[in-house]
Structures are given as C-alpha cells and as structure tokens.
Structure 1
Amino acid sequence: MSGNAETALAVRRFLDRLGLPGLVDVHTHFMPGRVMEKVWDYFDAVGPLTGTEWPITYRHEEDERVALLRAFGVRAFTSMLYPHKPAMAAWLNSWAADFAARTPDCLHTATFFPEVGAARYVRRAVDGGARVFKAHVQVGGYDPNDDRLEPVWGLLAEAAVPVVVHCGSGPAPGEHTGPAPIARLLARHPRLPLVVAHMGMPEYTDFLDLAERYPEVRLDTTMVFTDFAERLSGFPAGALGRLAALRDRILLGTDFPNIPYPYEHQLRALERLGLGDDWLRAVCHDNAARLFRLPPPATV
C-alpha cells in the first residue's frame, strides 16, 4: 500500500471512530502554478523565515492534490493564497474565483494587500461569493492597522466573512507580527471574524487572551502540536484547559500540501491532547461547518 493510501485509510478510521462525515480544513494552499513553485523553492532553500529543513510531503500537480484531500475525507477546504507586494492581490483573487468555480468543495478564498483600491477589489470578491480571506502579515510585511486597510476590515466585519490571518511571530518575527497589532485592530472592529492561523505560534497565550475577549476570534490548529512544531515552539501544557473551554472556536487547519509529514499526523497530534472526542468532532468538522454554513452531507 502506498503512503498516500495508508494515510487515507488512517484518516477514514479516525472519521469512522468519531462518527464524522468528513473533515473541514480551513488552512490549505492552492495557488497559481508559478506562485506555488516559488513557495516550494523557498522551503527547499531553507528560507530565513523557516531556518530548518522543510520537505514538502505533497508536492504534486494541482489535480492530484485536490484528489488527495478528497481521498483523505476532507469535505471542504480553502485555497489560502496571499500577495507579497502591491498589484498582486486582485490577480490572485481572479485565479481563486476560477479555482473555486471548478472545485466545488473548495471554499471560495480571496486576499488583499494595503494599497489603493484594496476595498474595491475586496468588495468585488465578496459580491462574487468569496467565503473566506487570507491575510499574511508576516510575508506581506505590513501593519494590519494600515489606513488603506481600514475600509477592508470594516467591510469584512459587516459582511461577516472570516479572515484567516497569519499574525503570530512564528517561524520568525516580523516588524508587524505578534498580538499587539491584532489587539489594536480588534479594538476598532470587535465583530471582525478573525481566524488566527497556527494559533498565533509562538505567542499562543496572548492570542488565547484575544479569543477569550472577542467572541468572533477563532484559532486554527495549523501545524500546532505536531512533532515538527513542538520542536520549534511547543504549545504550553498549562494552556490546554483554555483550549477545552474554547472548543467551539478552534478550527482544523493543516497547511496542506506544504507540510513535512503525512496529513494524518495533524489529526493524531490533536487526538493525543486528550481533550476528548466531542472536542475533536467540534474542531475537525462541526465548528467550521457551522461557520461556513455547509449543507448537511449527502446520505446514500
């Protein structure tokens, strides 16, 4: 049996044990081909933000990656993509809209950058059916409180469209990473539905504070608790009780395909926390299904 087949079987057993119809993964990456290749080149070169060997487990063509997620029992996923410079986001949004149109199990994803016209193309994406946005403060190198983004945040808060934001200082701090800029943003937009990527690694407790303060703040599990991430920045054991209390606002994320281990490892890492099957059901499916108003799965 191939490694992918073994992973598919392991994930299916996990789902069967929990009685789940599938997974909802809010943090998966699909991008235009040449953009994805540049991302992989960066990981291959042990880029300065990672500083460690990072083999890409699922370096496949786009169609095969989609097929793998389906084989792994993922019933809904995202196409997290993000610009690193101006005049790039609108083009990425056009690609993502086309990808979502031909990939019905992908939640239509969009992005933005602090630039003139950002509110205009974000409005166009929302009107076109975008269901989730990605903001990458670290790679983009921008302050989320940039004045050019103020109408964007207001628009997304009013439309109640979630934004997955990489704002923690892992794997390396940036000028605008960390909890303080996000705290300032939320003070102005307390109803903004933010999903903090990687649970805010490594400032886990600070982002837990924000989630406890603001009911529309959620945390995704991307790479957290895996053996790989624990070596880089371990989650504080004393905060596990807070995760249990926030059960309804923790969402499964994996970083597929850009992960240095099999997909199932993220699920096993969550399972071994010992927070219980109800917690796993909520995190791996129910919370995101409710957030994105997914229809009940078809029955045979």
Structure 2
Amino acid sequence: MHVHLEKDDHGHVAMPDDIMEASSKYFKAEERTPSIDRIAEIYRGQQMAAVVFTVDASTQMGHEPNSIDDLVAGCARNNDVLIPFGSVDPRQGAAALTEARRQAEELGVRGFKFHPSVQGFDPSDEQFRPLWDELERIGLPCIFHTGQNGMGAGLPGGRGIKLKYSNPLLLDEVAADHPNLPIIMAHPSVPWQDEANSIATHKANVYIDLSGWSPKYFPESLVRQSNNVLSGKVLFGTDFPLITAEKWMKAFAELPLKDEVRPGILKDNAVRLLGLGAGAQGNDAGRSGSAPGGTTAGGAA
C-alpha cells in the first residue's frame, strides 16, 4: 500500500536535494530513486503489487512535484503490478479541488496521498474541509502520513517540518465528518500509536498501513490489536525504496500473529479497500489500465 516514486521520467526528484540526502542516511536506503519501470520490475519479481505515489508539497517546499501524469502512464505500462495514487497540495485551495477531480476522472488514479508535515498543513483545519468534501464525493481512499518523520530527520530544525501535523488525532475529525471517505493512516504512528489504534477501532472508514518501520520495531499495542480487533483494518506497506519488501517480510514473519490474520494484512484487506476483488473492478479498472490482476499485494513509502 505504500511505494514512493522519488524520480520521474524526466529525472526530476520529488523533494529538495537536502531532504533527499538526509532521508537516505536516516533509512540507509540501498536504491534511493528507482524509476517507475524499475519499481515494476522489482515487484514483479517478488510476485507483489504496489500502490505507487508521490507527494505534491510545492507550497511548503517551493519545489515542483513529480508529474502525476507520468506516474499514471508508468503504472499503465506496468498494470499487472502497479496501482497509481494521485496527490494534490491542499494549500492551493480551489485549484487543489480541480486537480483532484482531474486526476480521478481523467487520469484514473485509484486514491490520493497526503503528507501533512511535509505539506505543512493541519488536516482538521476548516479551510481544508472543501477538499475532503470533494474527495468524499469522488469516493477514493486517501493515505495520510502519521507519526514520526524520516523527511527532514537530522537536519537543523528538521528542515522546518513540524511533527504536530502528523498526529493521527487530527484525522479523527476528518473521518467523523466524512464517513464515506476511506482514510489510511500511514505507518505505525509513533509516538501516537494508541491514538491511531483507537481511531481505527472507532471509525469504520479508517485503516492503518504498516509501512515506514521494520515490523521488528512495531509498537506492541499495534501488533496486539492487529491480531484481533484491527485484523481487518491493517495493510501491508513498506515505504519502498526506503525499506525493501524483502527486509519487511522477513521481520513480519517473526511477529506473533495468528496464521489466519496474516493473509488479510498481506493482501485481502487491501483488495477489499481498493475494490480489486473478482467482479469488483467494473469499468473503473479500465480507466487507466491500472488495476492489477492475479497478484499478491505489496507496498512501501
């Protein structure tokens, strides 16, 4: 459920150079900027599918985002394994709503990615309600970064990136007021894991993806809840290219999870959320040629 495209077809990188360099050191990434076709090659070799996206933080970062159009085209070239998500900059107001409609209706993205800390916004602020209203109307899932930030880690002042915007409690109000908007809280939400567990338990439209951390470092409460009340609400993700699926899967195998819980986390929960089950794709699957078939779910970023 969580793979980043960090460099587009024209060689443009998603974030300013200092943030890219700092995050590479923080995660000790081996292959930092694989192309969309390279991502597909890697995931195809692992018999996995991946949700792929970038982040539009142009207002906060003063840096143009990677091209969503190119990302979708790359996923269409590799539609057996890649699923495209879009991204808009919430701080662009009405233009963000227009762009979200374009990405959903013309490009055929299957969801949207937001990073409140990197994009510099509070999701619960009233000024962003029109965007959540529109995305609820569109009806596609939205992934929000929560918890600790690898972006800006180790830089003076964290490069101005504010952790408070990644508190999952800021999404509780969004989820309550938009019950038909599927919300995925990305990552173990350290240091707010109990808050994330509570929201995902309380709100039927809220999920948790497990990316950004090796499973051996997951908070105990997340593992415990994933084994019971949240077993249908947690989703496999790695944060590739920052964490590889091989490393993640090896550590995941060591978690004390019930055998009957693992298939849901690794594939079935995501299949239901994304509407990829047999007979569920309908005409949507053909909009960008991006709905994979016969694959095993994967993710990262």
**In structure 1, what is the Cα distance between the partners aligned to 2:58 and 2:259?**
42
| Counterpart residue number, 1:68 | 42
| Counterpart residue number, 1:240 | 223
List per-residue Cα deviations over 1:156-205 (Å, max 9, x = no partner).
22332111110324456524221332122223223320111003233111
Aligned length, in residue pairs: 261
Task: Name the TM-score, length of structure 2 as normaliser.
Answer: 0.76
**In structure 1, what is the Cα distance between the partners aligned to 2:223 and 2:127?**
37
> Is 1:194–2:188 an aligned residue pair?
no
- What letter corresponds to residue 210 of structure 2 in structure 1? T
Higher share of residues assigned helix: 1
- What's the CA shift for 1:286? 0.9
> Is 1:36–2:13 an aligned residue pair?
yes
C-alpha contact 1:141 1:175 (8 A) present in aligned 2: no
| Counterpart residue number, 1:256 | 240
> Is 1:269–2:251 an aligned residue pair?
yes
Structure 1 segments of 4+ aligned residues over 6 angstroms from their partners:
87-91
| Counterpart residue number, 1:211 | 200
| Counterpart residue number, 2:289 | none
1:86-235 alignment, distance < 5 Å? 86=59, 92-104=67-79, 105-114=81-90, 115-116=92-93, 117-128=95-106, 129-171=108-150, 174-227=163-216, 230=217, 234-235=218-219
The alignment partner of 1:211 has SS state of helix
Output the aligned Cα RMSD: 2.8
Tell me: higher relative CO, structure 1 or 2? Use CA pairs within 8 A at least 6 residues apart. 2
List per-residue Cα deviations over 1:87-135 (Å, max 9, x = no partner).
9788733232322332213212101112131111101111122111100
- What letter corresponds to residue 165 of structure 1 in structure 2? F
The alignment partner of 2:29 has SS state of coil
1:269-288 alignment, distance < 5 Å? 269-288=251-270
**In structure 2, what is the Cα distance between the partners aligned to 1:40 and 1:251?**
30
**In structure 2, what is the Cα distance between the partners aligned to 1:131 and 1:216?**
16
Change (3 A) 1:69 1:150: same
The alignment partner of 1:111 has SS state of coil
**In structure 1, what is the Cα distance between the partners aligned to 2:13 and 2:66?**
14
List per-residue Cα deviations over 1:43-85 (Å, max 9, x = no partner).
53x35xx9x64321234641333201110111x2122210222
Query: Which one is further off, 35-44 or 117-126?
Result: 35-44
Q: Which runs of 5+ in 1 are unaligned?
A: 1-25
C-alpha contact 1:170 1:201 (8 A) present in aligned 2: no
Query: Which one is further off, 90-99 or 160-169?
Result: 90-99
- What letter corresponds to residue 58 of structure 2 in structure 1? K
C-alpha contact 2:2 2:50 (8 A) present in aligned 1: yes
**In structure 2, what is the Cα distance between the partners aligned to 1:190 and 1:240?**
26
| Percent identity (aligned) | 24
Q: Which runs of 5+ in 2 are unaligned?
A: 154-161, 279-292, 296-301
